[in-house]
Amino acid sequence: AAGVIQSPRHLIKEKRETATLKCYPIPRHDTVYWYQQGPGQDPQFLISFYEKMQSDKGSIPDRFSAQQFSDYHSELNMSSLELGDSALYFCASTLRDIARETQYFGPGTRLLVL
Amino acid sequence: AQTVTQSQPEMSVQEAETVTLSCTYDTSESDYYLFWYKQPPSRQMILVIRQEAYKQQNATENRFSVNFQKAAKSFSLKISDSQLGDAAMYFCAYTLSGTYKYIFGTGTRLKVLA
């Protein structure tokens, strides 16, 4: 079965640079979530999209923005990167109203800011 | 605000034995879902089991079962016949129906001893 795809899997950036993370949800899934997991931490919800509209917002810094495109893939744009942004970024997807709130996670993008 | 607490940072179990991981949560809502996710060293988030709050029957998936005590707001995971491949970080997660974002506990690292 197809899973959530995230690219790139690993990313190294310098401080103050920008990064773009991509997420391709499971086919037919209409909702995408982004989570940030710092070293030794639990995942923290950043933002979600349903049918290309932002549906909820968590602890996402103003330096970050995201969107969902017509093909349902999503991109997380991160600007003015800081050392503290080094983390594993998960994307998850679901088919709202069908999947009983179950989110399926991608493998994550490991971002290292130097 | 809803919170999820996992009071056991680390647990160990002998291979083939049974272990129980604890999770408590705080909510004033009645319609919600609870999950256990497994995160092995690859850091992929893998769904282990799901429980709907409106269901009194405890969920079971092969060697994994839960003890859901709604009044006590407790949601423990029992792993029977533990296998080396069960070694991972286990996260308990809560989502309020209709909010579509997860709140995670801090995780329990499970070690399986041969």
pLDDT in tens, B7-38: 999 999 999 999 999 999 999 988 899 999 99
Task: State which residue of chain B sits closest to A110, comparing Cα positions.
Answer: B43
Q: Which residues of B touch A94 (CB under 8 A)?
A: 100
Mean pLDDT confidence for A84-113 = 89
Range 52-91 of B in CB contact (< 8 A) with A: 52, 91
Q: Distances in Å between the alpha carbon of B44 and those of A24, A65, A108, B100? A: 16, 24, 7, 20
> In the numeric block, which tokens belong to residue B96?
């309020």
- Measured between CB atoms, does B8 come within 8 Å of chain A? no
Q: Which residues of A touch B104 (CB under 8 A)?
A: 42-44
Closest CA to A33 of A19, A44, A17, A20: A44
Look up residue B108 and give its amino acid: T
Residue B83 C-alpha, separation from nearest chain A C-alpha, in angstroms: 23
The confidence band for B99, taking pLDDT boundaries of 50, 70 and 90, is: confident
SS3 letters across B12-66: EEECCCCEEECCEEECCCCCEEEEEEEECCCCCCEEEEEEECCCCCCCEECCEEE
Distance CA A40, CA B79 (A): 23
Mean pLDDT value of segment A83-88: 97
Count of CB pairs separated by less than 8 Å, A with B: 57
